[in-house]
Amino acid sequence: MLSKITSAIILVLFVDMVLTKCPVGCLSCFGKTCTSCESSYFLSNGGCLPCYMDCESCSSYNYCTSCKPSKYGVHARCPFNCDGNCVNMKCHDDTGYCAECLPGFYGLQCQHNCSLCKDELCDLRVCSKGCRNGYYEYVVSAIETICQRCPSNCKQCTDSKTCYICDDGFYLYAFNDNVYCVSCPHESKCLDYCVIQGCDACQIRNYSLVCINCAEGQVFNGNSCESIKAPCSQNCSTYCNNIGICQGECKDGWTGEKCLKACDDKCSKCSRENEHICKKCKDDYYSVNCSLVCNPSCKVEEDKKHMWVCRRILFEWV
């Protein structure tokens, strides 16, 4: 009889615990004891306590594990708002980087306007085709670039100090390693006007301003025209310094610092350090010093080591 009473009591208690409504915040419970919590609550001493107001989930009141929609800064209790240019104001909990931008915006937090991009085309983090005229791409990080303004009166530039195409009516001006655009002071010679002192004409080569025609008796040294202490050989394809050393490549058939040494007879292009080492042979000659002639059934080719070799021609009979 006692065992039946005991069983009945246990059953009543069990049913009571199962049917009892869980406390606020509990997802599941056993009697009044919470075993798991709803979103935005954390388990503590058998109960569920609310997370900090901007936390979607947390392990304690002061430590969020995810933020509510439109908030970020998970390690600081999500105090920041996602940028309004993020689609649905959704961004990464820790960085605030947008997963997707509204049309017309790009950047880590969609904070940059695509109107500065060429043809106003942009991807999530960069301009699709670079920046429009008057702006250049500035690398913010490995995953983000922005458009920054070129120097004044500059149409295209590489950075804030180096212009290589000026607006109409303006001309390149080099000063202290910077290249700017200025108005032309010589009305009749604007097309030939060059701001390098002593230079009659200049051009942009490899994004640098160089003089292609210094005044008589002067030579371009890479920055300005200066008086010649030694003449520049006509065999130099670029320009010389003031002691006559060629600052670029020698023309074909010539070598040496001043491009005054002739390559070997059968060599059309040779090493600057040694005229006997040939980089390109004339006609059907090959080898390092072009001393061998290629058989008529073969042809001269450059191999992977940039050496000239003779290879057999494979004929296909039709």
Number of domains in the chain: 1
Digit-coded pLDDT (tens) for 80-128: 999 999 999 999 999 999 999 999 999 999 999 999 999 999 988 889 9
The pLDDT value recorded for residue 28 is 93
In a domain, 23, yes or no: no
Residues 6+ apart with CB under 8 A from 150: 134, 135, 136, 156, 157, 160, 163
CA distance 190 to 204: 16
In a domain, 273, yes or no: yes
Closest CA to 83 of 68, 94, 72: 72
Neighbours of 130 (CB within 10 A): 15
In a domain, 181, yes or no: no
CA distance 67 to 74: 6
In a domain, 140, yes or no: no
Digit-coded pLDDT (tens) for 42-92: 999 999 999 999 999 999 998 999 999 999 999 999 999 999 999 999 999
In a domain, 210, yes or no: no
The answer to whether the CB of 229 falls within 8 A of the CB of 237 is no
Which residue range is the domain that position 289 belongs to? 265-312
User: 79 is written with which tokens?
Assistant: 């105090």
The pLDDT value recorded for residue 276 is 84
Coil, strand or helix: which one is 226?
strand
Find the largest Cα–Cα distance for the chain. Answer: 129
pLDDT in tens for each of the 318 residues of the chain? Answer: 445 555 544 444 444 445 568 999 999 999 889 999 998 999 999 999 999 999 999 999 989 999 999 999 999 999 999 999 999 999 999 999 999 999 999 999 999 999 999 999 998 888 999 999 999 999 988 888 899 999 888 999 989 888 888 888 787 776 667 777 877 655 545 555 566 767 777 776 665 667 878 877 777 877 778 777 777 888 988 777 778 888 888 999 999 999 999 998 889 889 888 888 888 888 888 887 788 888 776 765 665 445 556 765 443 332
- The sign of the CA dihedral 15, 18, 21, 22 is positive
The answer to whether the CB of 236 falls within 8 A of the CB of 244 is no
In a domain, 275, yes or no: yes
Coil, strand or helix: which one is 300?
strand
In a domain, 163, yes or no: no
CA distance 118 to 95: 28
In a domain, 271, yes or no: yes
The pLDDT value recorded for residue 214 is 82
The pLDDT value recorded for residue 240 is 79
